[in-house]
């Protein structure tokens, strides 16, 4: 193949410009990313070789090699992993097959990429971090049964492809270092950087150095392993420092912050495995931009990396957890697809879920401030478990915090404390969901409960309205949405008024569209009217969210409840009794319905009609 020049895709060109000109504060991450990629390449060929031994070419001495040439000012990182064909080189190094690239670029520009070099690793484009320290990068790669190929670029918009000479499978990446990055040719810098980022890798990282024999006038190449190689999850907890846990977490998550919690344990008994899990301190950028609903833990079998695509290792509502699981009981020489169906994975999953939920519960008890921060970041994801994990539903509910009518804005309570502080005779956990606290804390739905001294949970997370009904009850107490279904009414108090209002109630029901019933209520103290859905109806809040997402919303019929003690309700009733054909009766009745729609959080179907009716009434005053 003759030498061929190809253009980078536009987005990759922008990304390279960003990396080259902005990401300087943590340039050492380039070595971490290249070593991690090399480790992944070895893991992949080892796994593929289980079912296809010829791929291994008899290879058993797995290692990642580093060579520094001070005269040529080059740094070369090599591996004997899976290698790449010509097509794979173009696909992997000439394009970015990630739908989130545009979002990455926009976000990096918005927050200042120089403060967030970890974003590169999170988007799987760590190779391009090479251009932070190199003005030219050469890649020579060979896959099993393929011809070797050479890729070369200065990172300025194009790359070249040509044939290469390489005897064995694997990849060599040579960086022609910039003048201000020549420190990475120094042996001490290389050793310390590898020690910091890659000491725990399963595969040896070897530094090749050249020593001159002055007497013989010859040069001798020596190799030295510079990482300890023992997988951190196989070591005893007592011998691991917090800094080592933190670096391993950063390696697998590409987060720059330390984890909030570390879970390291050995499971013994019916099934044996080792797990090292981390709960992040904050939501990583890729989770904000990537709507992947699956959890991804790195699964190892007898220290051989298998995959991070086993979504039954952890449920999706715990997808913020990062870490590794290593089992000696699972079979090695089967496909990922078959392994995915292994019943042992379900046992591992149950064990992991229990550990994570227990750790979060301990955090809530022992370090509430840390837990509060976790809750702000991840509670929306955690709540998904209420509708998917019936076995652990109450444990999940124990971890949830909500604002309440009894506390100032921003302060929260848990369900256990709410139940403990329930008013005498109260049998239900009362809640009201809405877009924000401001829009619901003075809602008509709350008036009777405030008057009776009953606390109501204010659920303002968008997901609350979807998942909280799935909880159904907590510690034997049924959850009750105060804007749905019937409440206990003072029947004796309403008996007389129902006779008085009977004619007007029938008139209002016939007049108003979308109202299946009109009735009097004692739930209101200050407001004239309110709309109430049935126990299982979709709330106005959810309806509005669906409309914003462009989804069709079925027409909902609600109950219009009127406060017989309110002056406006009494006035329209008097007008009806005096002359049921008076146009004012219809106008005021529709206005009562309009204000009930607005108070419910829904939007008026005919805002112009509402304005006309309101102006008509105001003009008469």
pLDDT tens profile 259-292: 999 999 998 877 889 999 999 998 876 665 566 7
Minimum mean pLDDT range among 56-65, 74-83, 90-99, 392-401: 90-99
Report d(CA 403, CA 61) in Å as an integer. 59
Bridge partners (DSSP) of residue 158 are 7
Measure Cα distances from 479 to 429, 599, 600 in Å.
5, 22, 19
Task: Read off the pLDDT band of 160 (50, 70, 90).
Answer: very high
Locate 207 and state its tokens. Answer: 């530094």
Q: What was the pLDDT predicted at 113?
A: 44
Q: What was the pLDDT predicted at 486?
A: 75
Locate 436 and state its tokens. Answer: 């924000």
Highest mean pLDDT among 12-16, 37-41, 258-262, 265-269: 258-262
Task: Read off the pLDDT band of 12 (50, 70, 90).
Answer: low
Select the more confidently predicted residue: 564 or 33. 564
Select the more confidently predicted residue: 246 or 286. 246
Minimum mean pLDDT range among 14-23, 92-101, 157-166, 517-526: 92-101
Select the more confidently predicted residue: 181 or 102. 181
Select the more confidently predicted residue: 255 or 315. 315
Of 285, 227, 226, 219, the C-alpha closest to 256 is 285
Mean pLDDT value of segment 372-388: 94
| Mean of the per-residue pLDDT values of the chain | 85
Share of the chain above pLDDT 70, in %: 84
Q: What was the pLDDT predicted at 64?
A: 95
pLDDT, one tens digit per residue, over 537-565 is 666 667 666 666 677 766 777 899 999 99
Mean pLDDT value of segment 495-505: 88
pTM strictly above 0.75: no
Locate 398 and state its tokens. Answer: 């124990």
Report d(CA 75, CA 110) in Å as an integer. 33
Mean pLDDT value of segment 144-158: 89
The yes-or-no verdict on residue 408 having pLDDT over 90 is yes
DSSP 241-283: -HHHHHHHHHHHH--SSPPSEEEEEEE-SSS-EEEEEEE-SS-
The yes-or-no verdict on residue 212 having pLDDT over 80 is no
Q: What was the pLDDT predicted at 10?
A: 57
Report d(CA 348, CA 236) in Å as an integer. 20
Q: What was the pLDDT predicted at 218?
A: 75
pLDDT, one tens digit per residue, over 571-582 is 999 999 999 999
Which are the contacts of 592, defined by CB distance < 8 A and separation ≥ 6? Answer: 508, 528, 529, 560, 562, 568, 569, 572
Which are the contacts of 164, defined by CB distance < 8 A and separation ≥ 6? Answer: 140, 142, 148, 149, 150
The yes-or-no verdict on residue 366 having pLDDT over 90 is yes
Report d(CA 128, CA 220) in Å as an integer. 33
pLDDT, one tens digit per residue, over 97-138 is 343 445 545 555 554 544 444 444 444 457 888 888 999 999
The yes-or-no verdict on residue 429 having pLDDT over 90 is yes
Domains of the chain: 4-225 (3.30.565.10), 232-374 (3.30.230.80), 400-481 (3.40.50.11260), 491-620 (1.20.120.790)
**Exposure string for 482-504, b = 16+ CB within 10 A, e = fewer:** bbbeebeeeeeebeebeeebeeb
**Contact criterion met (CB below 8 Å) for 124 and 12:** no
Locate 114 and state its tokens. Answer: 């120089």
pLDDT, one tens digit per residue, over 287-340 is 655 667 788 888 888 766 777 777 778 999 999 999 999 988 887 655 566 677
Q: What was the pLDDT predicted at 4?
A: 85
Q: What was the pLDDT predicted at 101?
A: 46
Mean pLDDT value of segment 584-595: 93
Locate 93 and state its tokens. Answer: 């190094």
Locate 209 and state its tokens. Answer: 């150095």
Report d(CA 86, CA 148) in Å as an integer. 8
Integer Rg of the chain from CA: 33
DSSP 371-423: HHHHHHHHHHHHGGGGGT-GGGHHHHHHT-EEEETTS-TT--EEHHHHHHTPP
């Amino acid at each position: 193949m003759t030498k061929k020049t190809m253009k980078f895709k536009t987005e990759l060109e922008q990304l390279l410009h960003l990396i080259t000109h902005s990401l300087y504060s943590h340039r050492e991450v380039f070595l971490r990313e290249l070593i991690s990629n090399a480790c992944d390449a070895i893991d992949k060929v080892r796994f593929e070789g289980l079912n296809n031994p010829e791929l291994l070419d008899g290879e058993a001495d797995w290692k990642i090699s580093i060579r520094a040439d001070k005269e040529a000012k080059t740094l070369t990182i090599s591996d004997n992993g899976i290698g790449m064909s010509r097509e794979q080189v173009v696909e992997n190094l000439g394009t970015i097959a990630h739908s989130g690239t545009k979002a990455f670029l926009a976000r990096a520009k918005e927050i200042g990429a120089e403060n967030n070099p970890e974003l590169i690793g999170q988007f799987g484009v760590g190779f391009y971090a090479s251009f932070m320290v190199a003005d030219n990068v050469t890649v020579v790669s060979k896959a099993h049964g393929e011809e070797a190929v050479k890729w070369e670029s200065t990172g300025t918009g194009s790359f070249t492809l040509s044939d290469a000479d390489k005897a064995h499978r694997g990849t060599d990446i040579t960086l022609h270092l910039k003048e201000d990055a020549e420190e990475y040719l120094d042996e001490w810098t290389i050793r310390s950087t590898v020690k910091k980022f890659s000491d725990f890798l399963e595969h040896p990282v070897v530094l090749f150095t050249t020593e001159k024999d002055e007497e013989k006038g010859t040069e001798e190449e020596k190799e030295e392993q510079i990482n300890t190689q023992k997988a951190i999850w196989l070591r005893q907890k007592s011998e691991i420092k917090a800094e080592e846990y933190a670096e391993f977490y950063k390696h697998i998550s590409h987060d720059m912050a330390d984890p909030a919690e570390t879970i390291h344990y050995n499971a013994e008994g019916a099934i044996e495995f080792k797990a090292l899990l981390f709960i992040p301190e904050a939501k990583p950028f890729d989770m904000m931009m990537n709507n992947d609903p699956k959890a991804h833990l790195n699964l190892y079998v007898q220290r051989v990396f298998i995959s991070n695509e086993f979504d039954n290792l952890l449920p999706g509502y715990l997808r913020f957890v990062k870490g590794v699981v290593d089992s000696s009981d699972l079979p090695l020489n089967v496909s990922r697809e078959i392994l995915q169906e292994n019943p042992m994975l379900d046992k591992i999953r149950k064990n992991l879920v229990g550990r994570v939920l227990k750790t979060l519960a301990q955090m809530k008890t022992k370090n509430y401030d840390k837990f509060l921060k976790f809750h702000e970041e991840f509670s929306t994801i955690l709540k998904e478990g209420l509708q998917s994990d019936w076995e652990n539903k109450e444990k999940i509910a124990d971890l949830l915090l909500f604002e309440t009518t009894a506390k100032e804005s921003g302060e929260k309570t848990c369900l256990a404390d709410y139940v403990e502080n329930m008013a005498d005779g109260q049998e239900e956990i009362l809640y009201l969901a809405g877009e924000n606290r401001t829009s619901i804390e003075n809602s008509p739905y709350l008036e009777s409960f405030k008057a009776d001294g009953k606390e109501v949970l204010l659920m303002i997370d968008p997901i609350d309205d979807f998942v909280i009904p799935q909880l159904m009850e907590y510690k034997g107490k049924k959850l009750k949405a105060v804007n749905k279904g019937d409440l206990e009414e003072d029947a004796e108090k309403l008996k007389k008024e129902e006779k008085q209002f009977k004619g007007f109630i029938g008139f209002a029901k016939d007049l108003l569209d979308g109202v299946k019933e009109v009735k009097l209520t004692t739930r209101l103290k200050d407001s004239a009217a309110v709309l109430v859905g049935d126990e299982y109806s979709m709330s106005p809040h959810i309806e509005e969210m669906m409309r914003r997402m462009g989804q069709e919303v079925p027409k909902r019929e609600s109950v219009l409840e009127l406060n017989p003690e309110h002056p406006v309700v009494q006035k329209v009733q008097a007008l009806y009794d005096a002359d049921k054909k008076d146009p004012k009766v219809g106008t005021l009745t529709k206005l009562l319905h309009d204000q009930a729609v607005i108070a419910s959080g829904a939007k008026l179907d005919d805002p112009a009609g509402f304005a006309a009716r309101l102006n008509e009434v105001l003009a008469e005053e």
